Structure 1
Amino acid sequence: QKITGPKLAALPPPTGPLIEFIGNSITCGAAADPSEVPCGTGEYQDQHNAYQAYGPRVARTLHANYILSSVSGIGAYRTWNRTGPTMPEVYEKLDFQATNSQLWDFANYKPAVVSIALGTNDLSDGDGKTPRLPFDSAAFVNSYAQFVVLVKTKYPQARIALLNSPMLNGQKRTKLQNCLTAIKTKTDAAYPSAPPVALFFFEPMQAHGCNGHPDVADHAILAKEMEPFLQKLL
């Protein structure tokens, strides 16, 4: 909750560019670190380690600043087990809570790159309790494409990158990547004079964290994969 000491001083903020990482539990670094509290024990957040998640790791390697705009379980048109609230519905909120009237001040930060990693939860089979319709590619593409437009209105100069999910394999992986390609095509056509949307596809991985999530070592692999891609965008 706090750190006290006689000679504490704030570190000066790095002077490099800013990367915003939008995403779900993977981007959060959720369920990644059972080193102090084993998987399946304690509270959900006890295995959380945002500092060692792929985004902050690759940003530090590239001497960039970073901000995480991520919510566990969230998606572009539905969550992992419900219809919402979705990232497009909460992105402008101060605390990512749909019912909060307080909005985030987008003038505070101007990212050079906005990395968006959504889709894992949209393609989820749910919790087995709440009724769940089959994945709707058209609804996903439409909602996601509108969200990209929202991000572009907030940061007109930023490069937009769409990421797939290292947790999806087989047909789900192919389906997501086809949808992301369609969103890129749609966005590039709507903004012909802007730099094109970039796509980055992680290699599929057998995750070693809690509940099928990447652990700290897995995040190191993801960061290493992503490093040359982000370096080129910056």
Structure 2
Amino acid sequence: MAIRKCFYILAFIFVSLNLSGYAHTLKGDPGVLKAKQLKPVGRYLFNSSGQLELISSAVHFGFSFSGSKCELYLGLNDPNAHSYIQYELDGVYQKRIKIEGSVGEPTVITAAGEGKHTIWIYKTTEASTGAILVEKIVASDIKALTAPVLPMIEFIGNSITCGAAADASEVPCGTGDYHDQHNAYMAYGPRVARALNTNFMLSSVSGIGIYRTWNLDGPSMPQVYEKVDFQVNTSKKWDFGTYSPKVVSIALGTNDFSNGDGKNARKPLDTAVFRSSFVKFIQLVKSKYPKARIAMLSSPMIKGDKRVILQDCLIAIAKKVDALYPGEKPVATFFFEPMDPRGCGSHPSVEDHAIMAEQLTPFFKNLLEK
């Protein structure tokens, strides 16, 4: 009897200490926002465990809370892996945060002071890095935010569109893992969307092309675009009824024009296959979004004769698509000036993405107004 009484006393002390510590982390009466209550923008899914899986680059969600702190319960499917989020607090961009292993101890975000705050969380890395799992968020007076009703631009592309290899401020180029230098928030697409006050989503995969990858024959974007996570072997498809973008931007070609890695056999670029594959892909996109305006972007990383060939191909593709859809708005094209990229692995840096976005903003503004 004495032993049982001692056990109860110890248990009471343990619970009291834990509650005391928890109350010290979050003042007031903390509320819980479950994953299924969140309203994400981008590619995502809710899994059988009730978690929100953030899939695509820069997929994001928002919430408001009161006080000075909030706790995010985040993790990964692979307990040995890592990924990143980044966030805005009260409308101001803050930083990237590294997420490691399975959902466990919370990631705590601290505001400068008490009061009501708003936060938007963005996935920094791309779909191929793996999903970031959201289990719940704990804070005082917490409420999910809905993205404002605005036109949407979907940006389809490769590593450039992902914001891959753009940010070496924390992990130097040539060190760490490939995704350690990702910065989707600072990529040209989200920058353009913020400048024009639109919603956006990124449908992008590093190394991918319209009919081949940078060093292999596939998979290509047409093969993975309908898959929820852009993985060729995934059976689950994305629900294209989720959004109705006003403009769909397609920036593909850099990897089709690549010389490869010097290890895998690679045939010369077949411009006929490139053009026909691109036309078929635009038809696929138009089948998903019949009312969307289609735009094709060239590549700032392609120079010399290849740059001319790519531009000629895009012009020919636009003409072909316009002929197939004579009653619809024509396909728009934008050609970047050649760039000497300052990011890792000959990719545009965060600063280069700012230059690209500045060039693109008037182009997309015109498309949104017509």
Distance 1:14 1:20 in 2: 16
Distance 2:244 2:238 in 1: 13
Separation in 2, partners of 1:49, 1:14: 23
Give the letter aligned to residue 194 of structure 1: E
Structure-2 residue corresponding to 1:108 = 242
State the alpha-carbon separation in 2 of the partners of residues 186 and 128 from structure 1. Answer: 34
> Superposition RMSD on alpha carbons, in Å?
1.0
Amino acid at match of 1:89: Q
2:271 corresponds in structure 1 to: 137
How far 1:76 moved relative to its partner? 0.2
TM-score computed with the length of structure 2 as normaliser = 0.62
Query: Is residue 42 of structure 2 the alignment partner of residue 42 of structure 1?
Result: no
Report the CA distance between 1:16 and its aligned residue. Answer: 1.4
1:186 aligned to 2:345? no
2:359 aligned to which of 221, 225, 231: 225
In 1, the alpha carbon distance for the partners of 2:244 and 2:211 equals 26
Alignment-derived partner of residue 349 in structure 2: 215
Provide runs of 4+ in structure 1 moved above 6 Å.
none
Whether 2:139 is the aligned partner of 1:6: answer yes
Letter in 1 for 2:150: G
In 1, the alpha carbon distance for the partners of 2:352 and 2:184 equals 13
Separation of aligned partners in 2, 1:210 and 1:41: 10
Among 21, 33, 53, the alignment partner of 2:155 is 21
Number of residue equivalences: 234
CA distance in 2, matches of 1:10, 1:55: 24
> 1:202 aligned to 2:336?
yes
Q: Distance in 2 between matches of 1:95 and 1:25?
A: 15
Residue identity matched to 2:178: Y
> 3-state DSSP class of the match of 1:10?
strand
The SS at the match of 2:301 is coil
Amino acid at match of 2:355: I
Give the counterpart of 1:159 among 251, 275, 293: 293
1:201 is matched by which residue type in structure 2?
A: F
Would the aligned equivalents of 1:20 and 1:68 in 2 still touch at CA under 8 Å?
yes
In the alignment, which residue of structure 1 is the partner of 2:5? none
**Aligned counterpart, 1:170:** 304
Cα distance per residue 1:72-109 (max 9 Å; x no partner): 00000100000000000000001001111110000001
Superposed CA deviations along residues 41-68 of structure 1, whole A, max 9, x for unmatched, are 0010000000000000010110000000
The answer on whether the counterparts of 1:75 and 1:86 sit within 8 Å (CA) in structure 2 is yes
CA contact (8 A) 1:29 1:48 kept: yes
AA at the equivalent of 2:217: T
User: Letter of the aligned partner of 1:230 in structure 2?
Assistant: F
Are the aligned partners of 1:164 and 1:200 in contact in 2 as well (CA < 8 Å)? yes
Q: In structure 1, what residue type is equivalent to 2:169?
A: S
Sequence identity percentage: 63
Higher helix share: 1
What SS does the corresponding residue of 1:66 show, helix, strand or coil? strand
SS at structure 2 position matched to 1:75: coil
Q: CA deviation at 1:204?
A: 1.1
Which structure has the higher relative contact order (CA within 8 Å, separation 6+)?
1
| Deviations 1:112-149, CA, capped at 9 Å, x for gaps | 00000000000000001000000100000010110000
Task: Give the CA deviation at 1:12.
Answer: 3.2
TM-score (norm 1): 0.98
Match in the other structure for 1:57: 191
Report the Cα distance in structure 2 between the residues aligned to 1:230 and 1:224, rounded to whole angstroms. Answer: 11
What does residue 258 of structure 2 align with? 124
Pairwise CA distance, 1:9: 3.8
Q: How far apart, CA to CA, are the structure 2 residues paired with 1:154 and 1:183?
A: 19
SS of the residue aligned with 2:283? Answer: helix
